[in-house]
Amino acid sequence: MRLLTTSDGLPRLSWGAIIAGVILSMIVYVVMTVLGTAIGATLISPMAKPDTLHGFGFGSGVWVIVTTVLGVFVGSYYAGRCASVLGWLHGLLAWAVMTLLVVYGMTSLITGAVSTAGSIAATGAQVGAVATNQTAGGSQAIDNARQQLQAAVASAASAASGPDADQHVRQAADTAARGVARASWFSFAALIVGAIISIVSGAAGFRHQPPYEEGSGSASERAARRAAAAHSRGA
């Protein structure tokens, strides 16, 4: 049994272990995602089954949960295993860094999608304006079609202002609020479960490494430390 010697100025966190855990988590997540995509694409057979998407959403949700749990466990376990002290804390920090990276990636994707949609809408508006200018002196048929369209819009507006319009709006708002609340509670529960898994797996990985390391110093100092350790164990 070898004695572990520490210093007051020695950092208690190993960012190398944390980064290694994050990398392993991301690799496991990517591998499981690709595997899930391959399995899903193989099971989808429109020619053999007309309702091939039945239950596909539930299966995808279960696969995402399994993938996330496995990624968090592997990354936090090896972050704790590579840490010299506080394996549970290294596992938790590895999970936290990966969560921040995932949130940043999702935010970037959503922002890019919204920007792309805005660009497409602006381009469509410009094309419509050009087409309107080119057909300003069109035939009587175009004028008739425009009048019919205006009449249809007016009819739809009058229908929307009817007694059932307010009820439909309230129902849509209630459905949206329940969806947001459900998604928020699910996200909160997923974060809590992920934190617990990372702490447990980090602590489990830390327990599997050698508990002592030989310290530096002269031979006499090391012998004195071994004697002190043996005396403390005998006491």
Question: Taking the domains of the chain in order of start, what are their residue ranges?
Answer: 13-103+186-235
Tens of pLDDT, residue by residue over 22-35, are 999 999 999 998 99
Q: What mean pLDDT do residues 146-159 have?
A: 66
pLDDT band at 221 (very low <50, low <70, confident <90, very high): low
With CA atoms as reference, report the closest residue to 14 among 104, 120, 87, 107. Answer: 87
Contacts of 228 (CB under 8 A, 6+ apart): none
pLDDT band at 95 (very low <50, low <70, confident <90, very high): very high
Of the ranges 78-87, 109-118, 154-163, which one carries the lowest mean pLDDT score? 154-163
Instruction: Please tell me the distance from the alpha carbon of residue 204 to that of residue 76, in angstroms, as a whole number.
Output: 9
Of the ranges 5-19, 20-34, 77-91, which one carries the lowest mean pLDDT score? 5-19
Question: Chain centroid to CA 147: how far?
Answer: 50
pLDDT given for residue 24 in this prediction: 93
Exposed, middle or buried by CB within 10 Å (0-12, 13-18, 19+), for 3? middle
Q: Exposed e or buried b for every residue in 86-116, given b needs 16+ CB within 10 A? A: bbbbbbbbbbbbbbeeeeeeeeeeeeeeeee
Instruction: Please tell me the distance from the alpha carbon of residue 106 to that of residue 30, in angstroms, as a whole number.
Output: 15
What predicted TM-score, i.e. pTM, was given to this entire model?
0.61
Tens of pLDDT, residue by residue over 185-195, are 888 888 899 89
What percentage of residues in the chain have a pLDDT greater than 90?
18
pLDDT given for residue 213 in this prediction: 47
With CA atoms as reference, report the closest residue to 59 among 73, 80, 70, 44. Answer: 44
Of the ranges 18-22, 67-71, 104-108, which one carries the lowest mean pLDDT score? 104-108
pLDDT given for residue 184 in this prediction: 85
Instruction: Give, in order, the Cα–Cα distances in Å from 96 to each of 32, 60, 79, 100.
Output: 20, 24, 12, 6
Highest mean pLDDT among 138-142, 169-173, 227-231: 169-173
Tens of pLDDT, residue by residue over 112-135, are 888 887 777 677 666 555 555 555
Instruction: Please tell me the distance from the alpha carbon of residue 187 to that of residue 68, in angstroms, as a whole number.
Output: 13
Instruction: Please tell me the distance from the alpha carbon of residue 25 to that of residue 76, in angstroms, as a whole number.
Output: 8
